[in-house]
Amino acid sequence: MKSLLVLGRQKNIALSELESLYGAENFTRINDDIVGCELNPEDIDFHRLGGSVKLASFIREYNYTDWNQVERSITNEIINLLSLPIEGKMQFGISSYGFDIQLGKLRNLSLILKNKIKNSGQSIRMIPNQELQLNSAQVIHNKLIGQKGSEILIIKSRFSTIIAKTTEEQNIDSYSMRDYNRPFRDSRVGMLPPKLAQILINLAKPADNDIILDPFCGTGVILQEAVIDNLRAYGTDIDQRMIDYSDGNLKWLEKAHKIDKPVILELGDATNHEWQSFDCVACETYLGQAYSSYPDKLVLNKNIQNCDTIISKFLMNIHDQLPKGKYMALALPAWDDRINKSFISLPLLDHLEDLGYNRLRFSIIQDEKLFYHRPGQIVARQLIVITRN
């Protein structure tokens, strides 16, 4: 193990993204929040990841998990990590993953470390924990990554304790700006989060110089994330207003991020459009009717059938246009089944082979668990990756 990644809220989706980019063989599940990786931190393009919130370098592993024993053993190890000959004040914080301990124990350890380092003559500031893990805002705003800052991770696995040091943190300010500061947004067509757009692009596995197509481009979130990743992008939508919105958002992005990468935009119905040349596809398809409260069963079934018909027609239309061996990463609608505590998927998923597609299977997770869903939402997104057969 050379590095570790802290998974975001949608853990199964984060794991599928890592497998798509780097291969399942490089990852080992440490606990619910953490995966270990055989790659060096510098070999992981962290800012390309939408599903992982921290990247850390492996420091040491202890063959026990009792917190009191861990606390006695790791103090000197962490002091050595923090005691760097630097000018000015150093800042540090500690995050714990997998340990069932009171917050006070972690704060006590932080104070012990602070006092010992301070007594050695080093000026140091401790970032107090409000929870067992420091969040991204605390790490970034307190500059805990870099020469004068450190976040130490204390991680419990099944039989051991791992010490690691954060090297990269998800830039929540950048995501927020790209999401909420865009000039054109429309809740009626869904609000695809930039992180999920990144994940869909990564699941589509674009090669260098590939053109990535979004046939349901909406306000252009996938297109903007593609050009940020230096990919060529191509978007179509049935609604001229969405094409105009995408164009406006991309022009804003060009100024905000100093990006000069042309994007093809066209008006087109995904069920019958003939696209220009493209290589792979990443998109959020038609999600159907939005609900503020749970609908009547007959109303819901009619909506499901409508979505299934439209997306089936899209898949039949694009089949012969998709290059063989290339991938389509799709976010399909699914609906919260409160009674069975599961999700209702589109019927077409049982007939993908009849539509001419093979579904990519993942090794790290089960495909049926790839749902992007927030508590209280009725419509979820189910992620699939397919190729033409």
User: What is the rounded CA–CA span in Å between residue 342 and residue 334?
Assistant: 10
Domain with 44 in it: 3-170
Q: Are residues 114 and 227 both part of a single domain?
A: no
Q: Are residues 316 and 284 in the same domain?
A: yes
Q: What is the CATH number of the domain that holds 115?
A: 3.30.2130
| 145 shares a domain with 216 | no
Q: Are residues 80 and 210 in the same domain?
A: no
Q: What is the pLDDT of residue 87?
A: 72
For residues 222 and 201, the answer to whether their CB atoms sit within 8 Å is yes
Predicted pLDDT at 110: 92
pLDDT in tens, 109-166: 999 889 888 887 888 899 999 999 999 999 999 999 988 899 999 999 999 999 999 9
Banded pLDDT at 190 (limits 50, 70, 90): low
β-partners of residue 383 are 331
Q: Are residues 142 and 54 in the same domain?
A: yes
Using the 3D structure, point to which of 123, 153, 170 is the last residue of a domain. 170
Task: Kindly report the backbone phi and psi dihedral angles of residue 307, in degrees, each rounded to the nearest multiple of 5, phi listed first.
Answer: -60, -45
Count how many domains the chain has. Answer: 2
Nearest to 166 by CA among 175, 174, 155: 155
Predicted confidence at residue 76, as pLDDT, reads 82
pLDDT above 70 coverage of the chain, percent:
98
Which pLDDT score is estimated for 78? 83
Strands (E) in 118-231, as ranges, are: 124-126, 149-156, 161-169, 211-214
Q: What is the CATH number of the domain that holds 301?
A: 3.40.50.150
pLDDT at residue 1, as a whole number: 93
Nearest to 233 by CA among 186, 196, 279, 274: 279
Amino acid at 26: N
Mean of all residue pLDDT scores within the chain: 93
Same domain (yes/no): 266, 162: no
Mean pLDDT of 338-362: 94
Same domain, 97 and 189: no
CA atoms of 152 and 39, how far apart (whole Å): 19
pLDDT band for position 343 (cuts 50, 70, 90): very high
Same domain for 251 and 132: no
Looking at the structure, do residues 154 and 188 belong to the same domain, yes or no? no
**C-beta separation of 213 from 281 below 8 A:** yes
Do 116 and 239 share a structural domain?
Answer: no
* pLDDT higher than 70, residue 85: no
Among candidates 213, 219, 211, 212, which has minimal Cα distance to 194? 219
Last residue of a domain, one of 141, 170, 199: 170
User: Given the structure tokens 């990554």, which residue do they identify?
Assistant: 145
pLDDT confidence bin for 201, thresholds 50/70/90: very high
β-pair partners for 60: 163
Of 154, 170, 186, the one marking the end of a domain is 170
Query: Are 252 and 366 found together in one domain?
Result: yes
pLDDT beyond 90 at 367 = no
* 236 within 8 A of 266, measured Cβ to Cβ: yes
Q: Are residues 144 and 200 in the same domain?
A: no
Residue 322 scores a pLDDT above 90? yes
Determine the pLDDT at residue 86.
63
CA distance 162 to 62: 6
